[in-house]
Structure 1
Amino acid sequence: MKMLIPSHCKQLVHNMSWMMAAEILSRLSRLVTIVVLAAWLSLPEYGIAMLALACHELTRLLLRSGSGAVVIQCEESQLSVIAPTAGIIQWGICLSACLLQWFSAPYIAAFYDSKDLSMVLQWMAVSYLFYPIVALNVFMLNRSNRLRYFGLRSGLCVSIENLSCAIAAVAGYGAFSVAIGKIIGAVAWVLLFYFAPVQKFSLGYHHKAFIKIATLSGTIFISEGLRALRGQLDILIAGRLLTPDLLGIYSFARSAGIGLGKSLSGAFISGLYPYLCEKNRSSEIGSSLSRVYLFTIGISAVFLLQSLGAFIYIPLLFSEKWAPYSNFVSLLCLSAIPALFVDVSCCIWRAQNRAENEVVISTICLFISVITFVVVRPSSPIEFIHATLISSMCWLITLSAHIPKMFSMKIFPLKLYRSQFSKNSF
């Protein structure tokens, strides 16, 4: 079997294999959780739970603001100063995320006129305090492309989180079940990664390393913020415009469609980034792009099959009350395909130290989504689905028209990044 895989594809296939194995593990647990939540939560409770997860995801983007990307990407000679500083920055980011979500929760709950939402968000915020304990270990595992170790343990953590959420729902904790799952999953993350066999670094501060990380992190933070807002815009607007029952219906369709697709594409991106960084360090990234997009097309085919299969698996896996919404799930599955192509392109640019290109395309995609929702003015779940699908297809059209230009763009931040990431910058 190994002989059938070209040598230049082995690392990417290896990364994808382990991340997909982790994804199968987490996806099965997520499916169980969706089934349990759909059966044990009322429509208003389900809507609150999904809205809390959407808000949490927006705050969580702070954790992906770039310190890990720099550790994975930097030259070996820079690692001894980059890693300790990245650890300090990650602690600051996680503490900031916790405080931001905790103190903003009452205002978010007031905006959506839901008292229960505040408590759920505040307890979910506590989970941020666990991640920086093992952040450097996780970064180093990804840098060394040890995705067998990382993938299986991260998949197990997600499964623990999902199943804890399901058990809490059965125990009668309602929408608060998602907060319980997040905290238990964060504890599991620390326990499973604390003893990872990687090079260890103590926390420390190096001014040049801090400037370098902050420079890239700022752009990645903006890009991740735009990406998260692009991905959560529909549920945030739906939470404001739809009644609790209709929000529950749309949230279910979204979880069973986009939610499962996002978990699969997330696993692919997680395996892709370390691979691309390694290729970029060896100046081989250009020759790798064709196979990267070939893999992307293959995953898109899985989303298409999921869309076609929605009419089969929704009645089989969920109770009768959800069967009439199979067409909702089917349509939302299709919107995961353009999002995947956008995310893959952004991943390539980030590995090439062109994070500013991410900001450009993410801004365009978010602007398209906003305009679509303003024009369509959805007031029912099916109208929200149509708006989501239309905007995502427009992303794909825009991306296909801009990829050739984006790789040759010479907008002003590019020179700054190239100088910041030169081998002689330390």
Structure 2
Amino acid sequence: MFARTIFNRLPAGIAPIAKGLVAYGSAEAATRVVRILAILVIARRTSPELLGTAALALTLFELIRVLANAGIGQRIIAATDEELPALCNTAARLFWAVCLAVASVQLAAASVLFLIWNLSEAALMLAVLSGVYVCMPPALVQVFLLMRDGRLTTTARIAATQAMADHCLTLALVVVWPSAWAIVLPKLLTAPLWTVLTRRARKWSANPASGYAPVREFAAYGPAILGSELIAALRIHADKLVIGALLGSEALGLYYFAFNAGLGITLSFVAACNTVVFPLLCKQAGDDDRARLFRQSFVLGLVLLAPVVAAQALLAPFYVPLVFGAEWIDAAPYIALLSLAALPLYAGSLIGAWLRARKQPFVETRLALAATATGLAGLAAGSTHSLAAACAAYAAGLALVMLPAAIAQLFSPTNQTVPLRGEV
């Protein structure tokens, strides 16, 4: 009742954003408790070397999974009521085709790991995780319809339920079976839960009488969204491949722990901001209203995120040994430095929603490419000195591109998009 009163007093445009962010924030808070417990048990039951094996398999899985983000869902969100039924019919077929293709790519990657690099355990993990793509298509149309309907509380609850189930299962497996498999298997075992919950939340089935939209209807979003998502995944996950290649598996395990204990906690909120803001921006009548909502959203999200980032960075030397054990005290500075990367990543997430809503996804792709290049270049350069330098340079590289771009977009005229360097 108190929360409803607060929402009712907010400006009409900002209230839905606040509700969406609070829904995802509350879900993330509940998930965070279980996540911290899982990290705590993993830290005390495993070694950096073991974490390094799991990190390799999961990193490749997350990178390959992005290929399934082909912009199909964004076209559903932006659809008019008249074109929606035919678009959904075609989207359902496309989701199956894309997911099966991505599963084939992942199996091929697993074969390369086994045959060329002789990483048999990581290869088997990657092959097993390809089963996730069979669980996704039956509920993908439904989840994007939920977003289009503005039912963000529902999508937040489903995501949180799956995440908590993942962490709880990881907890249980690590206790009885302290191995890399205990960290990897829950990703597959909880995938059907997401499918069932999503299908129950939003009823939909293909209706051939409504016809099928031509595939070209998805072309405006598809390549650009796929490019942006793939680049963003490289920005978030390829850092681990760089650390593993330059500093070895033990350093990778330490970095993976620091990433999950620091930046990994705020990344869910960063991604949620894009999920919440994009559908609402699409519903605005014109650029003036869209620009106003974008600015309000940016400030609101920053007010919620900045205190969390500050607490993570400043208090890491105190809570790391207390919560995770003295053996992980060396990870405290890495947690503090990596947590700072959440701010430029948040800026990029909001800019992405803004550009997609204005049907300018290729501008987002170029911005994401620039940020990824500077972030990973900083990470690689810093790795030649130390792991701490690598973490600091990674955050600085992202900020070098994302923060000026955010400032430019926030203060640009409402009918223009600030061009990137080299764009006419």
Normalising to structure 1: TM-score of the pair?
0.89
The aligned runs of 1:46-195 (5 Å cut-off) are: 46-108=51-113, 114-172=119-177, 174-195=179-200
Residues 328 and 153 of structure 1, relative CA distance in 2, 3 Å threshold: same
Residues 169 and 301 of structure 1, relative CA distance in 2, 3 Å threshold: same
AA aligned opposite 1:384: A
- Which of 239, 261, 265 pairs up with 1:260? 265
Work out whether 1:324 is the aligned partner of 2:333.
no
CA drift of 1:46 comes to 0.7
Question: What is aligned with 2:15?
Answer: 10
* Aligned equivalents of 2:315, 2:206: Cα separation in 1: 48
Residues 264 and 44 of structure 1, relative CA distance in 2, 3 Å threshold: same
Work out whether 1:247 is the aligned partner of 2:247.
no
Question: What is aligned with 1:422?
Answer: none
AA aligned opposite 2:187: K
The aligned runs of 1:218-233 (5 Å cut-off) are: 218-233=223-238
Question: What is aligned with 1:341?
Answer: 347
Residues 249 and 352 of structure 1, relative CA distance in 2, 3 Å threshold: same
8 Å contact from structure 1 (residues 56, 101) kept in 2: yes
* Aligned equivalents of 2:199, 2:57: Cα separation in 1: 29
The aligned runs of 1:342-421 (5 Å cut-off) are: 342-373=348-379, 375-378=381-384, 380-400=386-406, 403=409, 404=412, 407-408=416-417
CA drift of 1:68 comes to 0.7
* Aligned equivalents of 1:234, 1:147: Cα separation in 2: 31
CA drift of 1:398 comes to 4.2
CA drift of 1:325 comes to 2.1
AA aligned opposite 1:73: A
What secondary structure sits across from 2:82 in the alignment? Answer: helix
AA aligned opposite 1:146: R
- Decide which structure has greater helix share: 1
* Aligned equivalents of 2:211, 2:238: Cα separation in 1: 38
* Aligned equivalents of 1:203, 1:178: Cα separation in 2: 42
Stretch moving more, 379-388 or 43-52: 379-388
CA drift of 1:232 comes to 1.8
8 Å contact from structure 1 (residues 168, 180) kept in 2: no
CA drift of 1:269 comes to 2.2
8 Å contact from structure 1 (residues 230, 369) kept in 2: yes
AA aligned opposite 2:372: L
AA aligned opposite 1:196: A
CA drift of 1:410 comes to 8.0
CA drift of 1:338 comes to 0.8
* Aligned equivalents of 2:373, 2:209: Cα separation in 1: 40
AA aligned opposite 1:19: Y
- Which of 294, 306, 320 pairs up with 1:289? 294
Question: What is aligned with 2:221?
Answer: 216
- Which of 9, 20, 42 pairs up with 1:37? 42
AA aligned opposite 1:55: L
Normalising to structure 2: TM-score of the pair?
0.90
1:155-211 Cα shifts (integer Å, max 9, x gaps): 101111122122222221511123311112101112212222445434799675410
What secondary structure sits across from 2:262 in the alignment? Answer: helix
AA aligned opposite 1:408: T
AA aligned opposite 1:134: A
AA aligned opposite 2:22: S
What secondary structure sits across from 2:26 in the alignment? Answer: helix
1:213-233 Cα shifts (integer Å, max 9, x gaps): 133111110111111112223
* Aligned equivalents of 1:95, 1:28: Cα separation in 2: 34
Identity %: 22
Give the RMSD, CA atoms, in angstroms: 2.6
Residues 39 and 407 of structure 1, relative CA distance in 2, 3 Å threshold: farther
What secondary structure sits across from 2:219 in the alignment? Answer: helix
8 Å contact from structure 2 (residues 143, 202) kept in 1: no
**Structure 1 unaligned regions, length at least 5:** 415-426
Question: What is aligned with 1:423?
Answer: none
Stretch moving more, 392-401 or 169-178: 392-401
8 Å contact from structure 1 (residues 335, 389) kept in 2: yes
- Which of 310, 330, 354 pairs up with 2:316? 310
Residues matched between the structures, number? 412
CA drift of 1:41 comes to 1.7
8 Å contact from structure 1 (residues 23, 263) kept in 2: yes
Residues 173 and 314 of structure 1, relative CA distance in 2, 3 Å threshold: closer
The aligned runs of 1:268-279 (5 Å cut-off) are: 268-279=273-284
AA aligned opposite 1:188: L
8 Å contact from structure 1 (residues 258, 332) kept in 2: yes
CA drift of 1:67 comes to 0.7
CA drift of 1:263 comes to 1.7
CA drift of 1:323 comes to 2.0
**Structure 2 unaligned regions, length at least 5:** none
CA drift of 1:376 comes to 3.8
8 Å contact from structure 1 (residues 247, 381) kept in 2: no
CA drift of 1:359 comes to 0.9
What secondary structure sits across from 1:145 in the alignment? Answer: coil
